[in-house]
Structure 1
């Protein structure tokens, strides 16, 4: 009997250390914002804990961007960073920040 392993993810694109830190911190911020989202939340305590953590994760994101700037990395390579975000499930994670599809009004 063969096991059904999930498909291999595409490799992450080559990133500088600072770019990797930006991507990681950005995704952590998204995760926390998704937990805070009142349209998706279940309890105030979980949202409160996420909001408390948001401060430190936002500071990590700021610090990573500051480091990039100080090193002369003045340009964000959007296509490369987008590929990294897609590999790391960024699309789903970003979707948790918005309203659930069932709650959106029809135009």
Structure 2
């Protein structure tokens, strides 16, 4: 009987409060939008314009998520834990779209 091959297990998210999870989600949403707006990487003005229009709403969502954390007395941001969560959610790839692309060889 052939052995079944299971897909590799996904890295689990670290334990986050609901508010921390919301901050991570909203931050990555803003990051995705900035990547779509990046003039060094975008192909057309219309998609960049739409992303820029949505960015204001996404930034407000991030602000609101941080406000909830603050109101719940979650005063500290645990950067290492949140960075691990963002890596699990493909944050490194998403962040590269915000950066300038490498210069082509001459």
TM-score, L = length of structure 1? 0.89
Q: Which has the larger Rg?
A: 2
Shift of 1:101: 1.7
SS across alignment from 1:85: helix
SS across alignment from 1:101: coil
Q: 1:14 maps to which residue?
A: 15
Structure 1 stretches of 4+ with a deviation exceeding 4 A read: 1-6
Shift of 1:102: 3.1
SS across alignment from 2:103: helix
SS across alignment from 2:40: coil
Structure 1 unpaired stretches of 5+: none
Q: 1:72 maps to which residue?
A: 73
Q: In the alignment, does 2:57 pair up with 1:56?
A: yes
Shift of 1:44: 0.1
Q: 1:46 maps to which residue?
A: 47
Shift of 1:7: 2.6
Q: 1:23 maps to which residue?
A: 24
Shift of 1:9: 1.7
> Using a 3 Å threshold, how does the CA distance of structure 1 residues 94 and 5 change in structure 2: closer, same or farther?
farther
